[in-house]
Amino acid sequence: MTFVITEKCLGERYGDCVEVCPVDCIHPGDYKGEVFMIIDPETCIDCGACIPACPIDAIVDAADKDPEYAKINVELTPTFKNNPKVPCRPSGDPPRKPTNKRV
């Protein structure tokens, strides 16, 4: 099992998940012309620290919960994993997409 960052993160990229990840498996990049983050399935240890850290509930705890984005996370890992870390957005920063609600 591995954790997956879903479409909810597309265009958002809060970075809170990066701050809590103990193995540095979450990486930023550009996907479909928007900011995005992925979880490297080879590095992820399934600790679950990222799930409560995500303010818009964009991370699921199993690939079968979002198979499309599980595949996208795997495909983007080689190009995203060498990108520099992103800083966290300010606390209380509202989502950029109206369909994303802070949890």
Domains of the chain (ranges; CATH) run: 4-80 (3.30.70.20)
Contact 2, 65 (CB under 8 A): no
Query: How high is the pLDDT of residue 18?
Result: 95
The three-state (H, E, C) secondary structure of the chain, written as one string: CCCEECHHHCCCCCCHHHHHCCCCCEEEEEECCEEEEEECCCCCCCCCCHHHHCCCCCEECCHHHCHHHHHHHHHHHHHHCCCCCCCCCCCCCCCCCCCCCCC
Q: pLDDT class for 91, splitting at 50, 70, 90?
A: confident
Say if residue 13's pLDDT is above 80. Answer: yes
Q: What integer is the mean pLDDT of 55-76? A: 97
- Summary mean pLDDT of the chain: 94
Whether the per-residue pLDDT at 56 is higher than 80: the answer is yes
Confidence of residue 1 (pLDDT cuts 50, 70, 90): low
